[in-house]
Amino acid sequence: MDNKKQKTVYFLLSYTGTWLSQLIKYATKIEYPHVSISLDRDFNELYSFGRQNPLNPFSAGFVKEDIENGVYAYFPNTICSIYALDITYEEYDKLVLSLCEFKKESSKYKYNFIGLFGVIINKPLNRENCYFCSQFVSQLLNNSGIELFDKPSELITSVDFIRSEKLIHMYTGKLNNPISSLSFEL
């Protein structure tokens, strides 16, 4: 890929220690149950499907996350792994447009709790306007013409991001380190 014609997006894989993340980790043996996508390296534009209210896991849907507030503020021992992906400007523009659709009608989107069960039994359970975190990130990439995985978005987990040879591992450790001090260079 021509370095002059690319942008970088970031994937934040995290484990907060909430009871739901503990349940997912136990049931799936996945180290990082949560996946978010960031359009910038400072994680100011960080999106996922998760808690809309930090204290209520059932109030969940499309969210703009904040690594210094919300769920992450309640769980300061959150551990994470950060990955990067270089994409073309055209793919980036499509990704932003797809993300804008989610933002514009954010209230219609709900969390796909049933879909989590589908991951456990390895059967895609698609529900209209419902996503879990890694399903959302995968679908956003697919909508942008970025194919990372050889299986349906409804079965994607953080393990698929970790195993992807197209992603560059940038950091693993505590999330509460200031982003500016995280030890990754571009």
Residue 58: per-residue pLDDT: 80
Does pLDDT of 180 surpass 80?
no
Check which CATH number belongs to the domain holding 130 and give it: 3.90.1720.10
User: pTM for this one?
Assistant: 0.91
Residue 186, in any domain of the structure? no
**DSSP one-letter code for 53:** E
Bigger pLDDT: 106 vs 69: 106
Beta-strand ranges (E) seen in 17-90 are 34-38, 46-53, 56-65, 79-88
Range of the domain at 92: 3-181
What's the pLDDT tens digit per position in 88-136? 999 999 999 999 999 999 999 999 999 999 998 999 999 999 999 999 9
Residue 2 phi/psi, 5° resolution? -70, 120
List b or e across 144-164, with b for residues whose CB sees 16 or more CB atoms inside 10 angstroms. Answer: bebebbeebbbbbbbebbbee
Bigger pLDDT: 70 vs 115: 115
Query: What confidence tier does 186 reach under pLDDT thresholds 50, 70, 90?
Result: very low
* Integer CA distances (angstroms), 141 to 68, 93, 161, 172, 178, in order: 26, 11, 12, 23, 27
Number of domains observed in the structure of the chain: 1
